[in-house]
Amino acid sequence: MTLSVWGRLARHFRADFVSEPWPEIKEPAPTDRQQLAEHARRLLEDPVLRLALERIQTDLTARWRQTQTGDTRGREAAYRMWWAVEEFRGELRKMIGASRINRN
């Protein structure tokens, strides 16, 4: 049986939430850099998204710190996931920055 992304995350975080697929995308992402930047800015400023990402990183940091001395796999997995959150934020910042470059 192949688990969905939600199922794998639930297993990883030992959460008890129902595995649900992402909702179907009804419209494509904007292609205009200004609109894309505005959407990215709203995401970065969204308090719920910010809280969720902070909770994930806090949990991953705790997991990393609690790994046993020889558990390099566990430590590396926690670090890679923590870094993925940073990459997500970074990609949104790049979208905002790209719109600023084209204005000048």
The predicted structure's pLDDT at residue 3 = 52
14: left (phi over 0), alpha (psi -120 to 50) or beta: left
Angle at 44 between CA 12 and CA 5, to 5 degrees: 25
The predicted structure's pLDDT at residue 10 = 59
Q: Is 46 within the bounds of a domain?
A: yes
The parent domain of residue 60 ranges over 32-103
Distance of CA 40 to the CA centre of its chain: 13
The predicted structure's pLDDT at residue 92 = 94
Q: Is 64 within the bounds of a domain?
A: yes
Q: Is 1 within the bounds of a domain?
A: no
The predicted structure's pLDDT at residue 4 = 56
Single pTM value for the model? 0.68
Instruction: Tell me what the mean pLDDT of segment 61-87 comes to.
Output: 92
d(CA 66, CA 77): 13
d(CA 92, CA 41): 7
pLDDT tens by residue, 18-69: 556 767 878 888 888 999 999 999 999 999 999 999 999 999 999 989 999 9
Q: Is 42 within the bounds of a domain?
A: yes
